[in-house]
Structure 1
Amino acid sequence: MSVTQQKDDKEFKRSPSHFTDRITADGSSPWPVEPGRYRLVVSRACPWASRAVIVRRLLGLEEVISMAITDPIQDERSWRFTLDPDDRDPVLGIRFLSEAYQKAEPGYDGGVSVPAIVDVPSGRLVTNDYHQITLDLSTEWTAQQRPGAPDLYPERLRDEIDAVNEDVFRDVNNGVYMTGFTRDQEAYEQRFRRLFDRLDALSERLEHRRYLVGDSITEADIRLFVTLVRFDAVYHGHFKCNRSKLTEMPVLWAYARDLFQTPGFGDTVDFDHIKRHYYYVHHEINPTRIVPLGPDLRGWTTPHGRESLGGRPFGDGTPPGPVPTTERVPDLA
């Protein structure tokens, strides 16, 4: 999750990723594609990190790029590995993700965000560029992907995917944060309307087509899904995005359930981590730190009916295999 900074005591803006090195297949960067060399550090609470978790799973890169899962509640020392024995990541040997940031840039005092890719041999952070990480998993790691891996960023559709992603990022992915963290009534109302105007437009786009771009799942669907799946559990109440619940927007609710029930999506979602992070860490919004029991999550597994729109979830590819035992999330209660 990237750092949100206050601006003029009223509006907030998201800081750009500070570490933007890329891992490339052609030797054009200091970091070559190499199986087993890198570790993806994520929080299951974080939508930006969840993008990378989904893409890694869909492409079958679990044995190629290992994954560390942080505690959903970080402290002033950054994301911590308290879910692991001795409170240390068993591969990197560190207690806090900030240690990898310091190895990359000694004295660094900026935000520590996930997703982050760390070079295992040196312990150095390679990148926290959440926009680029998933695109590179799709385009630079092709030789390491599983047989039948879908093309999530097809070249012929990239312009359209990029345009959709830009709108979704500005008004939805980041829009919920801009709405929730704003301290000014007028700015809040502006962001609120912009968010729901975009959700209405997306509903219209998806009413007669199963996916956002083309006839199969792409990067665009992944980026929208990670916000939709958190909407009723967090954003509707915690961030005051309460014109409508996701369950009250029929097209988007069916679309989100369709993706949730697709292998690689719902099987990466941990609602417990999501709720505990937002309601506990954002104490300026929720000073009591009480984590709500709701909403009822059983609706996520109900029929969605979107098969009638056609489309092929994985294009010419196939579904991913079972979730690795060590990466399974709890079933919905």
Structure 2
Amino acid sequence: MSMNIVRELPHPNDIKAEYPLSAELAAIKTKRDEEVKAVFRGDSDKFLLIIGPCSADNEDSVLDYILRLRELQEKVKDKILMIPRIYTGKPRTTGDGYKGMLHQPNPSAMPDLKSGIIAVRSLHIRALSETGFSAADEMLYPENYSYLDDVLAYIAIGARSVENQQHRLVSSGVSIPVGMKNPTGGDISVMMNSITAAQHRHAFIYRGCEVKSDGNPYAHAILRGYVNDRGQSFPNYHYEDLINLAQIYSEKNLENPALIVDTNHSNSGKKYMEQIRIAKEILHSMRHSDDIKKLVKGLMIESYIEDGSQKIGENIYGKSITDPCLGWEKSEKLVLEIAEQL
């Protein structure tokens, strides 16, 4: 055989029993859920910032970062609602490289997915317990959502996954907002089809069971830029792009039209400092168009303690081992400037 079973992984119910969410934390998460959904419904005019490291590679530094974010949230709470990025599964273009805490709780060690599942759940619970923040994660493997469905505030479907049927159907059974990124090639119709699928009811197979979903009215768009057939990055956050998406949304029979703009990835060409300029340009566009202001619910920003990125093994505390991120000082300044301009 070319595929060898290493071991059977624990059922989500077993992991939840071993690492439970207290009633107090569940109540905090429920309140947060309603605050976030109110933004997508248009019942709240707060601006969402889905902000944090490209990948959650180290529990201590990630929690350090989120504690700093908690203090910053208090300064801007009248205008901004923050959702920390705790991204524990990382898609890789070629399949090689660090795939996130889910695969490797220790980035320098061999993959250990059972330990990864435990590490991921423990990190999300610690963040909620110590900071009051329920967080965002990427749905890399739809069947793994059940390990975290009681702790997450937000889910992103990546550019490489957005056309996948299982991601779309599972998203239709999720009770929190799910952001669908445009695919790497930039075809907006793929993203819109994914949103449509996620908002509809479906019957499908999930974790060996026949299930029925109710549809997710909070499925929405994420623009992250695209790559052409020569591998060159192009943005899709400019005024014309946002107006175009608002027009496309107006032609669709979709609930809660909404957009989160990813300020990094192909929008910045992975030049992390460009995130500052991009964020301000989007705010400028919002001031000049009521349609854009109504559509854009927030930004996705890659930010950590130290600027840039490092290779695995360099062990610089709070510095990304995947895509480069804005450091804390620049991130704090940017958040305060965003609040001033809203």
Superposition TM-score tier, normalisation by shorter sequence: 0.3 to 0.5
More strand per residue: 1 or 2? 2
Structure of greater relative contact order (alpha carbons < 8 Å, 6+ residues apart): 1
TM-score (norm 1): 0.33
